[in-house]
Amino acid sequence: MLSNTLLTALNDQIKHELYSAYFYLSMSAYCDAHHMPGAASWLKVQAQEEQAHALKFFAYIQERGAAVTLQAIDQPPTTFGSLLEIFEQVQKHEAFVTSLINGLYELALKENDYPTQIMLQWFISEQVEEENTSAQIVDMLRMVGPQGQALFMADAQLGRRAQG
């Protein structure tokens, strides 16, 4: 059985994961409106992935016989800067999500909740991948610069990410 403290934290994480989806979807809309279809596609796939993460937490809470409590999701920003600035925000956001997952794991350790610790291992590994991917994209965008053919090719490369 989940403690009330851990249940509250897991329900909060659902909100954070859904906000992440909303945040990336807003970035996708911005990129689409600013003629960056590859980045728009990449960010839309990322939004779908974040929604799937929320549903993993949702299912886990239910599997443990507890109640899911959905919370209001804040409106994400609607304007962003350059493609580099967008992915710098992605990188920063993923680092924030990592800190949230790490906090959940620390709480599960404190509560001696072994099933939750095991479930969170997947998310810990996922966040290593998320931070690495965003760092690679930021590095690529810094290399290609803010305009020209290289940026066009970088956007096309981002568009190659498969739909999840």
34-74 pLDDT per residue, tens? 999 999 999 999 999 999 999 999 999 999 999 999 999 99
Q: Which two tokens stand for residue 21?
A: 């989806």
What residue type is 107 in one-letter code? Answer: L
Instruction: Give the per-residue pLDDT at 147.
Output: 77
Other beta carbons within 10 angstroms of residue 144's beta carbon come to 19
CA–CA distance from 122 to each of 42, 115, 118, 128 (Å)?
22, 12, 8, 10
Other beta carbons within 10 angstroms of residue 97's beta carbon come to 21
Question: pTM of the predicted model, to two decimals?
Answer: 0.94
What residue type is 60 in one-letter code? Answer: Y
Q: Is pLDDT of 164 > 60?
A: no
Other beta carbons within 10 angstroms of residue 77's beta carbon come to 11
- 121-132 as b/e: b if 16+ CB within 10 A: eebeebbeebbe
For tokens 């350790």, name the residue: 109
Q: Which two tokens stand for residue 149?
A: 């053919």
Domains, in order of start, for the chain: 4-70+79-158 (1.20.1260.10)
What residue type is 32 in one-letter code? Answer: D
pLDDT tens figures, 101-146: 999 999 999 999 999 999 999 999 999 999 999 999 999 999 998 8
